[in-house]
Homo-oligomer: A and B are copies of this chain.
């Protein structure tokens, strides 16, 4: 997390972009602050004034990228919110970020600190967005009382991840529509 000193937002952005570029090239384990500094044509001290460690820098850079690429939806309907969010996520994962995400997840078994941080920040923030979608739908009276909300939230993330990392099948609008209209919404509104 950025800290200390008056901040230069565009400088932070350039450093985050450099971190993501190095991450995509060599992976988390082999990423060094020296390589990030060289890529950003910055001094290492400049990086350390903003982030405590390589872990902080990588997680903050990923979170910023995701929150900018995948805004929280608020369309006024459950199906609309789920479709907008999951389509943005699917599009994001279909691009270069998908390859980086896949490589990062591949490193989690060997990088316990990274795994913990990834779960506490990245996964949790995605889960929180989906929980917000479901809470608003519940307030509008769209959800059946005993809807399996936690499991539906988990499945939404699982479905995207599985295509990205295992099957390689397309993360496209047809897939998102089927997931939303045939699976997620029916489970939540109590009508299959």
| Residues in chain A within 8 A of chain B (CB atoms) | 99, 102-103, 105-110, 115, 118-119, 123, 144, 148, 151-152, 154-155, 157-159, 161-162, 165-168, 178-179, 182-183, 186-187, 190-192
Q: Which residues in B have their C-beta under 8 angstroms from that of A183?
A: 148, 151-152, 155, 187
**Nearest-Cβ distance from residue A165 to partner chain B, whole angstroms:** 6
Q: A151-B179, A158-B158, A162-B162 are in contact. List 19 more A-B contacts (CB 8 A).
A: A102-B108, A103-B106, A106-B106, A106-B109, A118-B166, A119-B167, A144-B192, A148-B182, A154-B167, A155-B158, A157-B162, A158-B159, A158-B162, A161-B161, A161-B162, A161-B166, A182-B187, A186-B192, A191-B192
Whether B159 contacts A154 by the Cβ 8 Å rule is yes
Number of copies: 2
Q: Which residues in B have their C-beta under 8 angstroms from that of A182?
A: 148, 151, 187
Once bound together, how far apart are the Cα atoms of A178 and B187, in whole Å?
13
Once bound together, how far apart are the Cα atoms of A148 and B182, in whole Å?
7
Given contacts A158-B155, A191-B192, A192-B190, contact A165 B123 (CB under 8 A): no
Whether B155 contacts A108 by the Cβ 8 Å rule is no
Q: Which residue of B lies closest to A189 (CB)?
A: B192
Once bound together, how far apart are the Cα atoms of A179 and B154, in whole Å?
11
Among B107, B148, B166, point to the contact of A157 (Cβ < 8 A). Answer: B166
Q: Which residue of B lies closest to A115 (CB)?
A: B168
Q: Which of A115, A165, A190 has the most CB of B within 10 A?
A: A165
Once bound together, how far apart are the Cα atoms of A54 and B107, in whole Å?
23
